[in-house]
Amino acid sequence: FGGGTTFVDLDGAAGDANPVFGASAVLLGELLGVEADLGFAPGFFQSGPNSLVLNSGVTTLTGNLVVALPRRLAQYSLRPYFVGGGGLMRVNEEPNSAGVLRVVRTLGAVDVGGGVTGFLNESVGLNWDLRYFRTAGGSSELRGVNFGAEHLSFWRATMAVAFRY
């Protein structure tokens, strides 16, 4: 939600709420950790059944540094954390079957955010997270599919089941 882009967005859907599917893995010590995060948002540039866009999606793959409240302070309550890092963002938009204005770009990306994790028992818990993603680097030349330098940014809110090993 809250997205913005310089890519052609025929439906104006980049700023709308959109489902995201994904997974992440975290190796977390007492205070610091690392995370790998993969997310896929199908239909990112589509506004519904009468969309002008046939197919679209945005995929993010990031590696992040995690800073969490030490476990000894959180005890058995919610454990807040901050996260930030970088990786790749793949943008795919197919407005029509002729391939006119088609976008297929893989760009550098950065993300920053935070959340909380609470465990229901020793191995299963819930996680809530809010992150901001934006492209980094893209081409500044006009390709007919963007207005200005290539740019895509959005916020992602998640709720997930967490497993501890």
Per-residue pLDDT of the chain (165 residues; tens, 9 = 90+): 778 888 878 888 888 888 999 999 999 998 999 999 999 999 888 887 778 888 899 999 999 999 999 988 877 789 999 999 999 999 998 877 666 678 888 999 999 999 999 999 989 999 999 999 999 876 655 555 656 678 899 999 999 999 988
Range list of H helices, the chain? 71-74
pTM of the model: 0.88
Q: Which residues, in sequence order, are CB contacts of 112 under 8 Å at separation 6+?
A: 82, 83, 84, 131, 132
Q: Which of 73, 79, 81, 76 is nearest to 32 (CA)?
A: 81
